[in-house]
Amino acid sequence: MNIFSFFVSNGYYLSLLGYILGSIPFSLIISRFFMDKDIREGGSGHATTTNTIRQVGWGPGALVLLLDISKGFLPTYLAVRGGFPVWVIVPTAALTVVGHCWPVFAGFRGGMGLSAAGGSFIAVSFTGGMITLGVLIALVLLFGHAARGSAMAGLAIPPILWLAGYRGDLFWTTVLVGWILAYRFIREDWDREYKELWLDREE
């Protein structure tokens, strides 16, 4: 039995797998590989896709984005595919995002959680995941401020999904994950000044 088979057959441990995978700091690993630097020492100070792009470049940033989405997708997908109830799926997704934001492998200084959250939403419902992405983009553009738009998206997505007819796993996943995202962005970046909408490069 391989490790993924173990977690699928023991669904109560999937949330642990989520936190472990979420804690893998791909932005730090890739930035050190390309430039031998800790990107948290510059830019936004976070281990994120956008901060990788700021300091290392678009190619490494795109790779970080793909890997961060994947680490959000995999444990949640295993929970969904394993036929586990909502009270297994939701904490699995949530703890993956918690791991991304506060990673045990990187001194609990991680990213903001959006990529991992997006991966987990897509794992539950591809169409619903695309709706959450649309809400995020719309609110960031509306507020003209990435952190405030992202925080408001975390709070707005669940009721929007409810109105769109989502009542099950995806709705409850976005409730808990949305609160985590809102807390993270309000606490860390609410008053941050952006030179550009997302990729505010240092002069």
Q: Is 156 helix (H, G, I), strand (E, B) or coil?
A: helix
| Torsion angle (degrees, nearest 10) of CA 41, 46, 52, 54 | -70
Give the pLDDT confidence of 92-134 residue by residue, as tens digits: 999 999 999 999 999 999 999 999 999 999 999 999 999 999 9
pLDDT of residue 1: 47
C-alpha span between 5 and 85 (Å, rounded) = 18
Query: Is the pTM above the cut of 0.85?
Result: yes
Residue 194 placed within a domain: no
Q: Which has the closest alpha carbon to 132: 111, 150, 146, 110?
A: 150
Give 107's contacts (C-beta < 8 A, 6+ positions apart): none
| Domains held by the chain: number | 1
Residues in the chain: 203
How many DSSP H helices and E strands does the chain contain? 10, 0
Residue 150 placed within a domain: yes
Domain that holds residue 95: 3-189
Question: In whole angstroms, what separates CA 126 from the centre of its chain?
Answer: 15
Residue 202 placed within a domain: no
Residue 200 placed within a domain: no
Give the pLDDT confidence of 44-78 residue by residue, as tens digits: 788 999 899 988 889 999 999 999 999 999 999 99
In single-letter form, the type of residue at position 20 comes to I
Q: Helices in 56-125 by DSSP H: which ranges?
A: 58-81, 86-101, 114-124
Residue 98 placed within a domain: yes
Residue 203 placed within a domain: no
pLDDT of residue 196: 53
pLDDT of 200 above 70: no
